[in-house]
Structure 1
């Protein structure tokens, strides 16, 4: 029985990945020991923020970094930074940015909801979102046409939530930003490569600490020193409502050090996934295959297809029964309308995968009995 069961909540099997609705990551005990030690001591917070920025930057290759409470906070703080450039009077004014260059141009296919709209985070920072192109196709000329005298920055969202084809490539967005002398912000919240986007020429790159890195609740912005200084200045403005505690800062550093030497290898998940796939393929009304992450990350999953004409249940009903049971099994359900869901192995613990297959077997047998 885990700690959440002891306070009266259901056990949860997380087969959908590093998701905020399920608490994101299971943090390593050694990381939490560092956080606990930090929590038990005092420190000058401004000096800590600066020092953490230096240490984070050793992992990203950037000039400097600003620690945040989450990637969402990182978006709002980054937008506030490019609008105010750290000027104290403007920092205190935001999110009221009337009369300032405050427009943030992003591709329409990147205007996503990941539990909250990315446009809301832009507005929290005082920005006005300006979408370029169409939801399924965007061209460089459309981005350039969206740029005007009130443009403060371009934003590029690298996420599985975003449209993956027909969008303007990152390199082209960087070129446009350079030609128009505008900063480019990259939301790379769940990305695994901590150096890629800085090396490519992005000015500010935002990561979640709690996703790929398996840190306590945290995030950071990494990039060019003048803009990072403007990000830190927001802790005297909108960032005050988004502050991160000393314990999570040190937990983030411990997780980054661990991540540098113990990064998850998605290919290592393939054998156990294939074994589960083979078992699912013996079940009536279900079939499964190996799939690669839609955003190109080195993540592999089991993609399960429901055959309602055989099973007697469609994918929506199967997912609802998995989620509504005890333990509650959460799968990756973005394509339920196409009759499929996926099992992500990264957050599975102990016998979780066996329990998922067993629950699917029970549903398949239930379908047989009801069809008799």
Structure 2
């Protein structure tokens, strides 16, 4: 198996993932230290409560939060954070879900924050038994919209999202959090791909912040929930209820611990420069292909790297951006980029996880497809 390789052994497609930490492509690559720790954990037994306590301490150190816990993934983290807002640590309420009789069951969510990661965050809310209450419009939301939604007597929490998928102009998250807290309503922030910015998200005053372990941290699949000690304890309490189906495995928790250690040892200044150099070189080389306009695009949420945008002129090149995207995926290896919402937006290439050979392969394929 080791000599053959997994793709050959199981008849799997080889891909180059320039789409970022995208779940249908396996999300990310783990570093050697994470892989070794996970492999060792698979042959060992652990007291899972002790593992979670170790994760609690490590997440608190890493983020500056009071507490933290590990669940199956970020989608489940949203469901469990909503559940925690409804039940607290009450065993009776935990056992009752998804029946919310006698509990506050409304979750206020800005319309433009109803993102879809492959399933809608609205469904993640409903899985807990809660009822989503949309405020604002696709064009954005105001603090007055939040006030209106929070005026209901049955509000469990305010749910906000920090993601490049958010639509419309939003009020500042910290201001929305303050509005909720004035009414005594807790706030959950979904920051799935925002581990680099988790400190900023916690600084909004949110009670719970959910981030992904397997995206840029590179752990096995895991959702990390950090924030105030009481709400985090309420999330952990869900393991005696609906959270049983969303628990973290031993290898996931060990992988998270190893990934946190690796991130803390990372020289961020050096890493940022490496990513900037990757994008600058890619933009220069791709822009040399006739008919291609290449540029560097900062992450819209403030993550510490840019992506390369390529816009193709179909009057000059052999195809437009949509056709190029399809042709890249149809080749071998299959190359996946981030498609724009309109053809004029072109394609985005996230280079963070890619090797120099993979970047060279993308550029070679671009020239092959676009040069008439």
Greater alpha carbon shift after TM alignment, 172-181 vs 256-265: 256-265
Alignment match, 1:328: 334
Determine if contact 1:53/1:64 at 8 Å carries over to the other structure. yes
Greater alpha carbon shift after TM alignment, 245-254 vs 255-264: 255-264
Which whole-Å CA distance do the structure 2 matches of 1:59 and 1:269 have between them? 22
Which whole-Å CA distance do the structure 2 matches of 1:310 and 1:126 have between them? 54
Quote the offset at 1:221 in angstroms. Answer: 0.6
Alignment match, 2:193: 190
* 1:13 and 2:19 aligned: no
Alignment match, 2:307: 301
What TM-score comes out, normalization by structure 2 length? 0.94
C-alpha distance after superposition, 1:7-59 (max 9, x if no partner): 21121101111111111110012112112222222122223223321222111
Alignment match, 2:246: 242
Quote the offset at 1:159 in angstroms. Answer: 0.6
SS state of the match for residue 301, structure 1? strand
**Structure-to-structure mapping, 1:310-325, within 5 angstroms:** 310-325=316-331
* 1:270 and 2:273 aligned: no
Quote the offset at 1:337 in angstroms. Answer: 3.2
- What is the RMSD of the two structures over their aligned residues, measured on CA atoms? 1.6
Runs of 4+ aligned residues of structure 1 deviating over 6 Å after TM superposition are none
Alignment match, 1:22: 25
Which whole-Å CA distance do the structure 2 matches of 1:263 and 1:346 have between them? 15
* 1:113 and 2:119 aligned: no
Alignment match, 2:78: 75
C-alpha distance after superposition, 1:241-294 (max 9, x if no partner): 111111110110010011112166344222332222222222232221111112
**Structure-to-structure mapping, 1:198-213, within 5 angstroms:** 198-213=202-217
Which whole-Å CA distance do the structure 1 matches of 2:217 and 2:204 have between them? 21
Which whole-Å CA distance do the structure 2 matches of 1:208 and 1:223 have between them? 14
Greater alpha carbon shift after TM alignment, 225-234 vs 54-63: 54-63
- Unpaired segments ≥5 residues, structure 1: none
Determine if contact 1:65/1:228 at 8 Å carries over to the other structure. yes
Quote the offset at 1:129 in angstroms. Answer: 0.8
Quote the offset at 1:2 in angstroms. Answer: 4.3
Residue 107 of structure 2: which of 101, 104, 107 is its match? 104
Quote the offset at 1:336 in angstroms. Answer: 4.4
- Unpaired segments ≥5 residues, structure 2: none
SS state of the match for residue 308, structure 2? strand
Quote the offset at 1:339 in angstroms. Answer: 4.5
What TM-score comes out, normalization by structure 1 length? 0.94
Determine if contact 2:318/2:369 at 8 Å carries over to the other structure. no
Greater alpha carbon shift after TM alignment, 113-122 vs 195-204: 195-204
Structure 1 residues 278 and 51 mapped into 2: Cα distance closer, same or farther (>3 Å)? closer
Quote the offset at 1:73 in angstroms. Answer: 1.0
Residue 145 of structure 1: which of 148, 161, 165 is its match? 148
